[in-house]
Amino acid sequence: MAGMAGAANLGEFAGAIGIRAQESALIQELKAGSEDAYAWLVGEFHQPVYSLVYRILTDPADAADTTQDVFLKIFRGMKHFHGESSLKTWIYRIAIHEASNRRRWWFRHKSKETSVEQTEGGSQHCSMAELNSALVDRHKSPFDTVADHEVQARVEDELRKVPEPYRTAVVLRDIEDLSYDQIAEIMQVSLGTVKSRITRGRDALKKRLTEYVREIGPELGLSAVGVFPEKDSRRGCGKRIEVAS
Domain ranges of the chain: 1-109+126-138, 140-245
Overall pTM > 0.85: no
Q: 70-74, 142-146, 203-207: lowest mean pLDDT where?
A: 142-146
Give residue-wise pLDDT tens across range 193-245.
999 999 999 999 988 888 877 776 665 555 555 555 444 433 333 344 454 44
Q: What average pLDDT does the structure give for the chain?
A: 74
Q: What is the pLDDT of residue 112?
A: 53
Q: What is the pLDDT of residue 124?
A: 42
Q: What is the pLDDT of residue 154?
A: 82
Question: Check: CATH 3.40.1260.10 for 140-245?
Answer: no
Give residue-wise pLDDT tens across range 17-45.
556 678 888 889 998 888 999 999 999 99
Give the architecture-level CATH label for domain 1-109+126-138. Orthogonal Bundle (1.10)
Q: In the predicted model, what is the mean pLDDT of residues 120-130?
A: 44
Give residue-wise pLDDT tens across range 150-178.
777 888 888 888 999 999 999 999 888 89
Of residues 88, 95, 54, the one with CA closest to residue 73: 95
Q: What is the pLDDT of residue 90?
A: 92
| 95 pLDDT tier (thresholds 50, 70, 90) | very high
Q: What is the pLDDT of residue 8?
A: 46
Q: What is the pLDDT of residue 182?
A: 92
